[in-house]
Structure formats: structure tokens, C-alpha cells
Amino acid sequence: MKIRWTGKASSDLVRLYQHLRPVAPEAAARVVQQLAHALDRLLDYPRIGEKLDAYDPREVRRVIVGNYEMRYEIAAGTIFILRLWHCRENRSFESEE
């Protein structure tokens, strides 16, 4: 299995890092490291995240990494990282693709 980031998820990561870096550079680096570790766990256990039935028949799941929610989809032997945001953000209006 491999991991691929969607354009939106990549933009989310950049946005989160750029938001944290000016006020807490160590925290920004730590968040990126935590997310990288979570990706390693997803490779080992791709179905570890909670399945989001609202996306059936797609296999979209979410995992909480510290204070961040990562949504991903398992399809065709690949884990697609769909979106990433801080849990305090209201993202109910955002699409997953």
C-alpha cells in the first residue's frame, strides 16, 4: 500500500504549518512529525481510522492525530489523504475532494 496526498490535503498541511511557525516554530515542526508518524501507522494499519458511513460506498475514514483530524480514503491499494485540519476548526462546509 502507498500514500498519496490530494492537492487540498497538501494545501491544508502548508496552511497549518505556516499558521504555527511564526508563533511557535518548535510546535510547527512537532505537528509535522506527529502527522508523519501517523502516516507510518496508516501504512501498517490502514483501517485504524473511524469509517465515515456518510461517504459509502467509498471507504473514507478519519483519524485524530493530537489536535488534528486527518481524513483519508482507501482505494485501489492506495491511501489518499483527503483533508487535514485542527479539531477546533469548523470544516463541516468543506468537501472531501
Instruction: Give the span between the Cα atoms of 75 and 35, in whole angstroms.
Output: 21
- DSSP letter, residue 15: H
**Sheet containing strand 2-5, strands side by side:** 2-5, 78-86, 68-75, 60-65, 50-51
pLDDT by residue (tens digit) across 11-56?
A: 999 998 998 899 999 998 898 889 989 999 999 999 999 999 999 9
All domains of the chain, ordered by start, with CATH?
2-86 (3.30.2310.20)
pLDDT by residue (tens digit) across 1-18?
A: 999 999 999 999 999 899
Instruction: Give the span between the Cα atoms of 97 and 82, in whole angstroms.
Output: 6
pTM: 0.86
